[in-house]
């Protein structure tokens, strides 16, 4: 055993996937360039720029579109052996379907080839909250025609890039467009309509299954999965009412996507809940067969914070819109550890609990931590004399989560990798650049200059040592 290994208390398998995750809208910039069509973010920013922090919109994201060669060299310098990015549907198909944009194919081909030249495996996600506006006008995920257009888009990606990309993902966090777009108003179309939310969720599951079928039919030799934010729902106490509240939150926010994606079926208790409230989605009989027969090969798990719930304190207004909180209240646990900039609880054991749940209840499917990260405001405060951000808090955050991942791995969890959010500071939906997450800092005032943070050098050492 080498001295390097001996020094490391937490050693990971030699083929572990170390890298980071990103998304097209949050990183590419140039949202009107080279024939790209509008997506919902481009449209919403144009219509209501006041919703976006400091008025920064999706055209001014981190300029990966022009700086990707420099960025991929920085990935190599920080030790990445894999990198997840998303393809912009509206860059590939400006109208969502029909004629493909050759300049988009050229762009993504060059990214994939540059990653491979630098021994970084591309993990490609097809949908990250960025519905083409032309498709939104057809109803977005409410519409079956949009499901079909998505499968056409996915198939085009498989045909053009599937000879080199061996890890595909149909959606990133599909519950988020449901919650944020159709219940809580954080994403376009910013509705509060539980019936539409359920339909959007169902069609997202159906679209994923159909894309999985299209991929497997092509026999390209890779794997296709989905990325889910499997947020554990912890009850306030072991009182039956608190336990029931946590179970309902889990059914709505986790198992609604986890069960059909991995097992091919929706939980009976969830179906019963929706039937009782008269919110079952519209579907065709063969849809359930497609979902059952086309489950994922691989599961990506995003984890940032737990969900803590308790039984309802008060009866909801019977005349108000139906919301998930009809079943539970959020519980603010005294003494919890918090990231003060995001207001999110830091609970490292949550990642272990997720991995054990997947091991015990989902056939121990091959999985990896596809996002885990810490957003901090005004990070320039922590620059040293050489201009490097001393983000020791981020290093601690990662190490404390990796300890629990290591424990799950040693207990037989089939976890294959760890991707941080994110490679470089990027634009974060309505928050724009308020909180920084990157291993690399981006200076918006100085030509978007990239500088490796202390955590980036730590990450390189982590990968070289395969542990810490």
Catalytic positions are 371
Distance, CA of 156 to CA of 153 (rounded, Å):
5
Please name the helix (run of DSSP H) or strand (run of DSSP E) that holds residue 171, with its range, or none: strand 167-172
Comparing CA positions, the residue from 409, 425, 385, 412 lying closest to residue 466 is 409
CA–CA distance from 254 to each of 251, 363, 373 (Å)?
6, 16, 20
Half-sphere exposure of 83 (CA within 13 A, CB side): 27
Q: How far apart are CA 425 and CA 427, in angstroms?
A: 7
Scanning the structure block, which residue is given the tokens 């809580």? 184
Closest CA to 84 of 42, 126, 46: 126
- Burial per residue of 390-421, b for 16 or more beta-carbon CB atoms within 10 angstroms, e otherwise: ebeebbebbeebbbbbbbbbeeebbbbbbbbb
Q: What is the DSSP string of 351-402?
A: HHHHHHHHHHHSTT--EEEEE----EE-GGGGB-TTS-B--HHHHHHHHHHH
Dihedral sign for Cα atoms in the order 273, 277, 281, 286: positive
**What whole-number distance in Å separates Cα of residue 182 and Cα of residue 199?**
10
For residue 398, what are the contacts with CB-CB under 8 A and spacing of at least 6?
372, 420, 455, 458, 459, 462
Q: Which of 228, 216, 266, 184 is nearest to 430 (CA)?
A: 184
Q: How far apart are the first and last CA of the chain?
A: 15
Write out the two tokens for 395. Answer: 């290093």
Name the region of 219 (left: φ>0; alpha: ψ -120 to 50; beta: rest). left
- DSSP letter at 253 equals I
* HSE-CB of 191 using CA atoms within 13 angstroms: 15
How far is Cα 22 from Cα 313, in angstroms, rounded to an integer?
Answer: 39
Angle at 250 between CA 210 and CA 269, to 5 degrees: 75
Cα–Cα distance between 234 and 239 in angstroms, integer? 12
């Amino acid at each position: 055993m080498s001295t390097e290994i001996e020094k490391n208390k937490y050693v990971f398998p030699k083929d572990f996937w170390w890298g980071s995750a990103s998304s097209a809208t949050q990183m590419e910039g140039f949202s009107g360039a080279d024939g790209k069509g509008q997506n919902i973010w481009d449209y919403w920013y144009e219509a209501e720029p006041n919703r976006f922090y400091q008025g920064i919109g999706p055209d001014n994201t981190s300029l990966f579109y022009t700086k990707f060669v420099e960025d991929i060299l920085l990935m190599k310098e920080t030790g990445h052996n894999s990198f997840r990015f998303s393809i912009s549907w509206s860059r590939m198909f400006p109208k969502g379907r029909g004629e493909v944009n050759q300049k988009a194919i050229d762009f993504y081909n060059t990214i994939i080839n540059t990653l491979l030249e630098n021994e970084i495996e591309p993990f490609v996600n097809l949908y990250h909250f960025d519905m083409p506006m032309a498709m939104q006008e057809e109803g977005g995920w409410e519409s079956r025609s949009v499901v079909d257009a998505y499968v056409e888009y996915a198939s085009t990606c498989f045909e053009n890039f599937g000879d080199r990309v061996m890890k595909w993902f149909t959606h990133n966090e599909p519950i988020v467009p449901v919650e944020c777009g159709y219940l809580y108003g954080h994403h376009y179309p910013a509705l509060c309509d539980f019936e539409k939310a359920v339909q959007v969720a169902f069609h997202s599951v159906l679209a994923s299954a159909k894309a999985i079928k299209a991929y497997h039919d092509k026999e390209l030799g890779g794997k296709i999965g989905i990325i889910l934010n499997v947020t554990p729902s912890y009850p306030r106490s072991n009182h039956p009412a608190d336990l029931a509240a946590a179970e309902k939150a889990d059914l709505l926010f986790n198992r609604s996507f986890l069960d059909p994606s991995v097992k091919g079926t929706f939980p009976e208790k969830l179906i019963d809940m929706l039937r009782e409230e008269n919110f079952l989605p519209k579907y065709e009989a063969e849809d359930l067969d497609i979902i059952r027969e086309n489950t994922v090969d691989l599961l990506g798990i995003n984890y940032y914070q737990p969900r803590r719930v308790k039984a309802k304190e008060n009866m909801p207004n019977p005349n108000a819109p139906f919301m998930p909180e009809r079943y539970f209240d959020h519980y603010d646990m005294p003494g919890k550890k918090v990231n003060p900039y995001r207001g999110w609880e830091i609970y490292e054991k949550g990642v272990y609990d997720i991995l054990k749940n997947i091991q015990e209840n989902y056939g121990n499917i091959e999985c990896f931590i596809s996002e885990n990260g810490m957003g901090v405001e005004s990070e320039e405060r922590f620059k040293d004399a050489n201009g490097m951000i001393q983000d020791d808090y981020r290093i601690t955050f990662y190490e404390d989560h990796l300890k629990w991942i290591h424990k799950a791995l040693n207990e037989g969890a089939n976890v294959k990798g760890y991707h941080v959010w994110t490679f470089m500071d990027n634009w974060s939906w309505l928050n724009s650049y308020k909180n920084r997450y990157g291993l690399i800092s981006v200076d918006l005032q100085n030509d978007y200059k990239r500088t490796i943070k202390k955590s980036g050098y730590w990450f390189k050492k982590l990968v070289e040592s395969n542990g810490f």
